[in-house]
Amino acid sequence: MAFTLTDFKLWRSLASCWLASMALATQAADVQVAVAANFAGPMVPLAERFAASTGHQLKVSIGATGKFAAQIAAGAPFEVLLSADDTTPRKLVEQGLAVPGTAFAYATGQLVLWSPQAGVVDDQGKVLSEGRFAHLALANPKLAPYGQAAMQTLQAMGLADKLAPKLVLGDSVAQTWQFVATGNAELGFVALSQVQVPGKPLAGSMWVVPARLHSAIRQDAVLLKTGEKNPAAQAWLAFLKSAEAKAVIQTWGYTP
Amino acid sequence: MSAADWLAVWLTAKLAGLTTLLLLLLGTPLAWWLARTRSRIKPLASALVAMPLVLPPTVLGFYGLLLMGPQGPVGQFTQAMGWGRLPFTFSGLVVASVIYSMPFVVQPLQQAFEAIPERLLEAAATLRAGPLDRFFSVALPLARPGLLTAAVLGFAHTVGEFGVVMMIGGNLPGQTRVLSVALYEHVEAGELADAHRLAAGMLVFALVVLLALQALRRRMDGEARVQP
């Protein structure tokens, strides 16, 4: 064997690596960020740009906002929450789990009705009233803001009762997308950012749901109590408000 | 408890009951074959049966969605037979549960069959009992404790199923919204009192079932010893 446990040189080089990484850690810190499932796409370029400009690394967890709220209440180590709504950050502040005055809207979400097949969804959403499909997927309206907006849309169109037997509920918009992408549900309500990746053509067909059919999907970010003393967490929130970040967020189909 | 939660209780019992019944029907011959065969494919068959023990349920759920979906081979087959597609249906959950709970039924049965001394079956054969007769009048009665364990574990494990149901179920009341999914939804929605009612109920159920199983097995062992 080339290396043995008593190989002094190996240990010395390992030790110097460790020291070097410790030195870096004093300047650059990690931030634990919980991110709503619909925002997974833009998080990749945003985290890269943030790391490039500040040296701080984001540790990103993607999931349902409701689940994050329950986990944060149970002491999860997240320092920043990028919520899919504005009520969850407000509740966290009320519960003393988030820092008052730090919540702000980082994006307004865009709901779309989408099918991975071309020609299934028309640009007026008439496919819904025609009803020639077995399953319509949406996120659970009880748990996910996009699901709530989807349900409001169906109610506004007067189709909620008629389509009730055909609805399948995803735990978040991420699972809803997965139901539709695998073809198990012919179409579903998802976030525009999930289906329209910047620079790529749209796969399938979609209807961008007009904002008048549902209440606005205002997505707030908030600094959590655990991140109050982490300058990197504050730097991340500041970055999220910057023109650079806003430009990225807009290309993913959100209105700022 | 709300009507929706009672519906979830009933649905879970129906799913677990049906799954256990199917598994006893399918698993008994399979376990008998595994216990007696000297075939070269036995290790492979045993490994396949045991797979759900080590795989994350999300693996089964993921492949379930792909295989049973419109483009998947299982989905194409069920559609060609005019049965429609399995995801988001109760039948889909039954199929997934049978695979998922298979080792919990087959393994106790196999162990019980393996524990039967060869000479007892040979003795029965010399008394002109045919293979089926030997199985039903010698092997099956002797394997009763294993049968009981298999049924109880199969049922309880199906009740505790979550990951697979979550991925292929779609949370439909009366169809796929089983107890574990209903509980998860309550937790996520912050309805902790409702979550407690379901969670505590399942906790007590699991404890009672396992205690009852031990008591029954002790009684069966006692009976076995009394017999000459």
Q: Is A67 on the interface with B (CB under 8 A)?
A: yes
Q: Is A134 on the interface with B (CB under 8 A)?
A: yes
What is the identity of the amino acid at A1? M
Asked if B88's CB is within 8 angstroms of A183's CB, the reply is no
Q: Is residue B79 part of a domain?
A: no
Identify the sign of the CA torsion A90, A139, A209, A246: positive
Nearest residue in chain A measured CA to CA from B168? A179
Cα B209 from Cα A223, distance rounded (Å) = 46
B124 vs chain A: nearest CA distance in angstroms? 53
Query: CA–CA distance from A187 to each of A28, A182, A204, B93, B194 (Å)?
Result: 44, 10, 10, 22, 32
Q: Is residue B202 part of a domain?
A: yes
Q: Percent of chain B at pLDDT above 90?
A: 64
Cα B178 from Cα A235, distance rounded (Å) = 44
Asked if B166's CB is within 8 angstroms of A184's CB, the reply is no
Q: What is the CATH number of the domain that holds B207?
A: 1.10.3720.10
Asked if B172's CB is within 8 angstroms of A169's CB, the reply is yes
Taking only the tens place, the pLDDT of each residue in B63-122 is 988 999 888 999 999 999 988 889 999 999 999 999 999 999 999 999 999 999 989 888
Q: Percent of chain B at pLDDT above 70?
A: 98
Cα A65 from Cα B98, distance rounded (Å) = 33
Domains contained in chain B, number: 1
Taking only the tens place, the pLDDT of each residue in A34-73 is 999 899 999 999 999 999 999 999 999 998 888 888 889 8
The interface pTM score, or ipTM, of the predicted complex is 0.73
User: What is the per-residue pLDDT for A3?
Assistant: 46
What's the domain range around B144?
Answer: 3-54+90-226
Q: Is residue B85 part of a domain?
A: no
User: What is the per-residue pLDDT for A74?
Assistant: 81
Q: Is residue B47 part of a domain?
A: yes
B207 vs chain A: nearest CA distance in angstroms? 26
User: What is the per-residue pLDDT for A8?
Assistant: 56
Mean pLDDT of A115-133: 93
Taking only the tens place, the pLDDT of each residue in B3-12 is 899 999 999 9
Domains present along chain A, CATH in parentheses? 29-108+218-251 (3.40.190.10), 111-208 (3.40.190.10)
